[in-house]
Amino acid sequence: MGTVVDTVFGPGFFASDPVRSALVTGLVVALVSGALGVFTVLHGQSFAGHALSDLGTLGGSSAALAGVGPLWGFVGVGVVVAGVMELFGTGQRRSRDVATGLVLSAALGLSALFLYLDTTYDSTTGVTITVLFGSLFTVGSGTVPLLVLLGLAVLAVLTLLHRPLLLSSVHADLAAARGIPVRLLGLGFLVLLALATALSSMSVGTILSPALLVGPAATALRLTRRPVAAMALAGLIGTAATWIGIVLAYDSYRWPPGGHGWPVSFFVVTLVFTLYLLADLIARATTTRAQRRGTDRRPAATAPAPAGVS
């Protein structure tokens, strides 16, 4: 029995401090990313998520240069950028233009300089990998409580605002017609998105963070039509991918080339993608079966007119 556990998890898995930090961080990040990811899809703002993570690179690299933890860099830059986006309305898909792309490239260029300076002068060689691709094992037990607190705060605000956010995702005027301050709500959403991106950047790095934000959400949307269920399911899927990823990464220390574990972010993102493919297959199979039974919704044009409508 003991050997089975050891084979699956690797010896000393549960005794390891970095593993415990990684499990807790992974759980919080996955729950936040899942719930917010569903809203990101609903609001058609995955581009804002990408922009925030690109600019997060700048935050992470400059934080390392200033000698503070990358989380502060991610959060600081993210919140400022969210404010600017709301001011210029660039968060929406329709504004995805050349100018925005140019600003993002410029930010990444600056990040390249900062990362170079980080590695040259501070000889913190790991920082490039940590900022760009993350590493759950290097989060550090000092950062974990702060990360958990931030994650819980985001989830609490999301719980409070989920109905107004749902309504405004359908049409801003529908929300405004019910007295919801739409612009303020939009700004609030972008700040939440910035925080979620910062958290997922801590987990899988800035380059892969959109995958963790949108991937589990997209997977959940293949499996349920209910808004709240989709958020919970996305959180669960993200957690599953992250935890299994951590186990595999820990195991990989015993794999070739030996002595060096494979990057945990690789496992997490690959699992996110695999789960999406699985969910897509399940969804397709269910639809086909429903069609064969003839229980799917026919298009309105061919459906008989309902009673009461002449």
Residues at the interface with other proteins (CB under 8 A): 38, 41-42, 44, 159-164, 166-167, 169-171, 173-180, 218, 220-221, 224-227, 229-230, 297, 299-301, 303, 305-310
In the bound complex, what is the minimum distance in angstroms from residue 308's beta carbon to other proteins? 6
- Minimum distance from CB of 171 to other proteins (Å)? 5
Q: Which token pair is 174?
A: 């529908």
Min. distance of Cβ 177 from other proteins in angstroms?
Answer: 4
Minimum CB distance to other proteins, residue 156 (Å): 10
Question: Contact 41/268 with Cβ under 8 angstroms?
Answer: no
Residue 178 or 289: which CB sits closer to other proteins? 178
In this complex, which beta carbon is closest to other proteins, that of residue 179 or of residue 257? 179
3-state secondary structure of 12: coil
Angle at CA of residue 181, ends 178 and 182, nearest 5°: 95
In the complex with other proteins, the residue whose CB is nearer, 112 or 182, is 182
Q: Give the C-alpha separation, 251 to 254, whole Å.
A: 6
Nearest to 154 by CA among 187, 190, 192: 192
Least separation in angstroms between residue 288's CB and other proteins is: 16
Q: Supply 25's token pair.
A: 């961080």
Smaller CB separation from other proteins, 257 or 299 = 299
- Pick the closer one to other proteins by CB: 15 or 303: 303
Q: Could you tell me the two tokens for 265?
A: 């972010």
Report whether 111 contacts 61 (CB < 8 A). yes
CB-count exposure of residue 254 (10 Å: 0-12, 13-18, 19+): exposed
